[in-house]
Structure 1
């Protein structure tokens, strides 16, 4: 959604790009970096991709051969994969990707032979380095341009997608060990696990959360440290005042809250993520209550970059650049809710300024009043809230499902409850 500005049912990725699925970001659409490349930008992608279909196109040494026939026919990872040059890279000229959820042993593929011991694009490199540190070094080198990786007469866009703080986080080998030792090793688990909804965890999950939390936070700090290094390099390059910087994430981490780990649920810990923009000279510090969706990121950023006229017609999100820059919302109102799409098309929901609502494919519902119950510990029935609020929530869910061309809308799932309009 971030890359395409389109909902899953249109962009081709309705689930994780797993070896058992056919999901793949469509090659025939213009994504964010396609637009920038055609507009004359130097483009770079560093880190995790996770948008290409995972076919068995590798040899036994995990090098890409592009065929399922011998010596191909192998995979090295069930989820992410290497993307060869061509449309699958969506206009990204400089390519440095780290594959697999092993933070200190990433499988690296790049078109920069100087960074992978002279290997070719598609040959695997295993530097055995904490991946955020490695990727930050790559980005700093790209900004300094000491090896002429980009044309400095052109504007540039660099996207960095670090794997951490994604799992695993079970020991020092999974994180920035210095951050762990300095900040978290001697902290009590009660101090780190301070959300009251963690008390709902059973003994086994609570023990897992107590063990995992210090290493998870060390990964958060590790990424933060490396992001700071990249920002310092941007300052040193002289381009900081002429560069938009965006910081966001794709999901949160439950870490034992509500007896759950990971993502894929509508609870605040998983669903709500940061979105921070630094645009020197045009934006001032403020907190904004805009419920920005992933499909809105591409058109909004193109608008902020002065490329509004290049937003593809396929984009389904909204361009909020004018409103974010000016702070004036008189011509385009803020959305009144945000859409939640749960795992494997089984859950749908909305988050409003006050309520969180979810319904699953069996008709079971969750409803939380986040003003009165910020840790979402007491699920309500729809009949428990004012009728006007209930009508609004069910109407917003129906509107989003219709707008996104969701299968539930096409099949009119639960139309006795969801108001599709």
Structure 2
């Protein structure tokens, strides 16, 4: 299917603009927010990297993927080239996003799991708490994965709130339903999808009309492709069909779809129409020379389904943006598109995330502010704790940023391009899963050290696919000293236990 035909399949002409102004736009007020972050989508998986002003910007090849809606969004956004995940796994990213704090302070160091105690603190004001207190109607749709997983369900996976009978059951090892209260962080409209099964999500909602009249906490199993299901909910919320939001207030919508997260093994895991028309039988999807080893054949088999999910998200986002335009709110809505971490898909013989390699560590990030952004590139190494204060700044709520926030507000600089009063960070640090690894990324190098002192170094300028491991003695001494000093600085700034213990102080240069 050609790009023009794909656009037509969405109900759009090839020259359609999803994000343009509307002559009947609502009376101006505080900007709305549409924040979209699919799970496990890598930076390279967007088609515009092979087009126009964006072509050749990344130091490596991008993926041959169809994303016409994201391509259009890029034309009206600030497009980041070096946004990172910090801790490339679901729960830590989401907790940093919501709290603006590093893992050691927000309560989530590892993935929330039934065998762990990690949980986003209830006693801090998070992203959506601030928005709700500022007068926003708040809506959350999709995956959360920031709450402690407890056996508070009956055998039918309905929430009962007790661990003794009829409770004592989990609904999923890696995620759980969040009941009404502080765990939802002031999201008025709640439509939560649990479990990494794209066509059979476990749904819990406080909107009975969306779940066949079921009560909040009673499981709903629609057995639909979750991005389509969730897009329908977001569209209904935008249209305000049942008065589910106060139309006199600005709204914030956070949409967190599970795909393209695994599984990605067959068309049962993706939008099968997209797969059959765009990716089935297509070769050369994995164009990165670092896809090697015994997993290469498996990666080539899985790639069409992974990219079908990427295009599936693009397709549903197109539907949402079309309704946003029709509602008259498009030119008063800030749109943010990002992801919690990337996907290796065979690079370095790996799948998934949890590693410092570019495919997992770097994430897509685009911010569209109508009338203020237009297809510009930004090389800021922005981290998850920076997202909350930066977006609040863009919304004009900088005076409401909680004192607990540890990230930085880059809103003025991102819009103006003027970095005279606030300099860009020279690196972004990496937290390895289960506290075993630390590292950082600079404009040129990627460096990692584990708890035993074993080190890994790549020169991303001369080796952008990170195929040749170096030693610190292989690079100029000044560069090595800078890397080790920056790492020590980040460990201190983030409140890392390594700093308190002065771990590996014979190598790391602590302040």
Q: Does 1:61 align with 2:153?
A: no
Whole-Å separation in 2 of the counterparts to 1:283 and 1:29: 32
Paired position in structure 1 for 2:285: 192
> Which of 94, 102, 119 is the equivalent residue of 2:214?
119
* Corresponding residue SS for 1:98: strand
Structure 1 residue 265, shift from structure 2 partner: 0.2
Whole-Å separation in 2 of the counterparts to 1:316 and 1:238: 36
* Corresponding residue SS for 1:157: strand
Q: Higher relative contact order at CA 8 Å, sep ≥6: structure 1 or structure 2? A: 2
Structure 1 residue 58, shift from structure 2 partner: 0.2
Paired position in structure 1 for 2:186: 91
Paired position in structure 2 for 1:331: 421
Q: How does 1:247-326 map to 2 (within 5 A)?
A: 247-326=337-416
- TM-score w.r.t. the length of structure 1 is 0.98
Whole-Å separation in 2 of the counterparts to 1:283 and 1:331: 20
Unpaired segments of 5 or more residues in structure 2?
Answer: 1-95
Q: Deviations over 1:48-80 (max 9, x none)?
A: 000000000000000000000110000020011
Whole-Å separation in 2 of the counterparts to 1:44 and 1:29: 19
Q: Does 1:38 align with 2:133?
A: yes
* Corresponding residue SS for 1:3: helix
Whole-Å separation in 2 of the counterparts to 1:56 and 1:143: 35
Paired position in structure 1 for 2:72: none
Whole-Å separation in 2 of the counterparts to 1:342 and 1:182: 39
Unpaired segments of 5 or more residues in structure 1?
Answer: none
Paired position in structure 2 for 1:26: 121
- TM-score w.r.t. the length of structure 2 is 0.81
Whole-Å separation in 2 of the counterparts to 1:99 and 1:144: 25
Structure 1 residue 281, shift from structure 2 partner: 1.3
Q: Does 1:8 align with 2:103?
A: yes
Paired position in structure 1 for 2:54: none
Whole-Å separation in 2 of the counterparts to 1:305 and 1:94: 20
> Which of 153, 167, 180 is the equivalent residue of 2:248?
153
Structure 1 residue 207, shift from structure 2 partner: 2.4
Structure 1 residue 362, shift from structure 2 partner: 1.4
Q: Does 1:231 align with 2:321?
A: yes
Structure 1 residue 226, shift from structure 2 partner: 0.5
Aligned residues: 416
> Which of 356, 378, 384 is the equivalent residue of 2:474?
384
Q: Does 1:140 align with 2:235?
A: yes
Structure 1's consecutive aligned runs of 4 or more residues displaced over 6 angstroms after TM superposition are none
C-alpha RMSD over aligned residues: 0.6
Whole-Å separation in 1 of the counterparts to 2:358 and 2:277: 29
Whole-Å separation in 2 of the counterparts to 1:193 and 1:76: 35
Whole-Å separation in 2 of the counterparts to 1:227 and 1:80: 24
Whole-Å separation in 2 of the counterparts to 1:236 and 1:397: 48
Whole-Å separation in 1 of the counterparts to 2:450 and 2:346: 22
